[in-house]
Amino acid sequence: MSVDQNTVRHIARLARIAVRDDELPALAGELNTILDWVEQLGEVDTKGVEPMTSAVAMSMKMRDDVVTAGNLQKEVTENAPRAEDGFYVVPRVVE
């Protein structure tokens, strides 16, 4: 994949980044270098490698999913500017 100056200009506009015309060639070169490196990563054989979330083996602490304070609908909606039948009332935003 190759990025030209028009693509860099488009990306900058989407990202709301001000880029001068004299900066476009250098940015295009940098983006092309990054994309080439990403393509090289695709060549690495990862068959048999388990997905991982950390470089160190960890296990999540688990607890029972027990309701400790239930049926608080009245208390939760008490501070609402407007509530009706235990639900928040909000202004209509879609006509």
Tokens 């609402």, located at residue: 80
pLDDT at 51: 86
pLDDT at 95: 75
pLDDT at 80: 92
Taking the complete model, does pTM exceed 0.85, yes or no? Answer: no
What's the Cα-to-Cα distance from 24 to each of 28, 29, 43, rounded to whole Å?
6, 9, 29
pLDDT at 94: 86
Band (pLDDT 50/70/90 cuts) for residue 3 is: very high
The pLDDT tens digits of the residues spanning 6-46 come to: 999 999 999 999 999 999 999 999 999 999 999 999 899 98
The pLDDT tens digits of the residues spanning 66-76 come to: 878 878 888 98
pLDDT(47) > 80: yes
- Residue 87 bridge partners (DSSP): 84
